[in-house]
Amino acid sequence: MSKKGVLIGTGIAVAGVTVGVAVSHLITKGLVKFAIERDMPKSLEKQRPKLTQGDRVKAFQECINQSGKALLEKDIEEVEIRNRDGLRLVGHWYPCENAKRVIVAMHGWRSAWYMDFGMIADFWHNEGCSILFAEQRAQNNSEGEYMTFGYMERYDCLDWIYWVNERTEQKYSVYLAGVSMGASTVLMTAGLELPENVKGVIADCGFTSAYDEWRYVVKDNMKLSYGLRGLMIDRICQKKINTNSKNITTITAMQKTQIPILFIHGTDDKFVPVRMTYENYKACNAPKELLIVPGAIHGESYYVEQEKYEAATKKFWEIYK
């Protein structure tokens, strides 16, 4: 090949690599936006059901929709606080007349309080629980530009605990409960210095870290490479939320907490793999319980094994009160 041909070939190769890097960067920016920004990119909106639930959704989703609608129709007071960042956060206070305890409930990623807790709300309430359903920052009616996968939400959860104690004059034991990202939020909250009346945490299908979760979704669900993309993701996150994905972790909190934890997860979860709950359970130095639900997909454990779920919860309340 002539020198001119070599130069042309080299130029084409370099151009190809440059275009490839540019495309990869654009995809990565879209993924970060999808993960943490309030507004979901329209180009990725159709991907969400594939990432979270797969094909086994129809009956489960219908139950979520019906129970969520029923919860919205109950006599529940909308409340709000200003968190330590100055953001207006919205919550929903569902008092129980003869309360035995209070639950602070944190919903999951790109979800809503009435969707994630519609099915279980009656059980909690009938068992003597007043409930504060929080709307997580940068979602629904709460202010904020970015979701931080529990990193800052843990402080929001703590602010809601203070609100509950002020509202109830700290008369009751408080339990934190969360699903998916909400589960990781309450697990991270457990690593903070908490009021002494916080007696336990119920974490349903939580992840171990943003890094582990994002890597799993990109590699296993989206079938994309993560090495260089992971570095780009962390660079963008550092600019937007002042931390990287490995710092957003439940493991450190589990190693230091003394708050009892009930871990729950379904074996067939294709969004947050069940191994992450096993890792959280192993890392936890506090008193702990574990409920693994065979066949349940993401967030489906209560739907699949309602009796076992309720029995495990009531036992947890009885032991750790």
Q: What is the 3-state secondary structure (H, E, C) of 124-160?
A: HHHCCEEEEEECCCCCCCCCCCECCCCCCHHHHHHHH
Instruction: Compute the average pLDDT of residues 30-36.
Output: 92
Neighbours of 11 (CB within 10 A): 10
Q: What is the pLDDT of residue 10?
A: 43
248 three-state secondary structure? coil
The pLDDT of residue 45 is above 90: no
* Cα–Cα distance, 65 to 43 (Å, whole number): 25
Query: What is the pLDDT of the chain when averaged over all its residues?
Result: 91
Beta-strand pair 88-94/198-204: unpaired
What's residue 57's pLDDT? 79
Q: Give tens-digit pLDDT for 84-141.
A: 999 999 999 999 999 999 999 999 999 999 999 999 999 999 999 999 999 999 999 9
C-alpha to C-alpha distance for 158 and 176, rounded to whole angstroms: 10
User: Which residues, 6+ apart, have CB-to-CB distance to 160 below 8 Å?
Assistant: 81, 89, 91, 104, 132, 134
| pLDDT band (50, 70, 90) for residue 8 | very low
Burial 200-223 (b: 16+ CB within 10 A, else e): bbbbbbbbbbbbbbbbbbbeeeee
pLDDT band at 32 (very low <50, low <70, confident <90, very high): very high
- Collapsing DSSP to helix, strand or coil, 104 comes out as strand
Give the gyration radius of the chain's Cα atoms.
21
Residue 209 β-bridge partners: 249
Q: What is the pTM of this model?
A: 0.90
β-pair partners for 77: 93
DSSP lists the bridge partners of residue 173 as: 101
The pLDDT of residue 22 is above 70: no
Sequence-distant contacts of 191-196: CB under 8 A, at least 24 apart:
191/154, 191/252, 191/253, 191/254, 191/256, 191/257, 192/154, 192/155, 192/158, 192/253, 194/158, 194/161, 194/259, 195/161, 195/162, 195/165, 195/170
Closest CA to 182 of 147, 217, 143, 220: 147
Rounded CA-CA distance 194/249 in Å is: 18
Lowest mean pLDDT of 1-15, 64-78, 293-307, name the range. 1-15
Q: How far is it between the farthest Cα atoms of the chain?
A: 89
3-class state of residue 178 by DSSP: strand
Q: What is the pLDDT of residues 188-242, one digit of tens each?
A: 999 999 999 999 999 999 999 999 999 999 999 999 999 999 999 999 999 999 9
Mean pLDDT of 164-190: 98
Give the separation between CA 106 and CA 156, rounded to whole angstroms: 10
CA angle (52 as vertex; 274, 135 as ends), nearest 5: 95
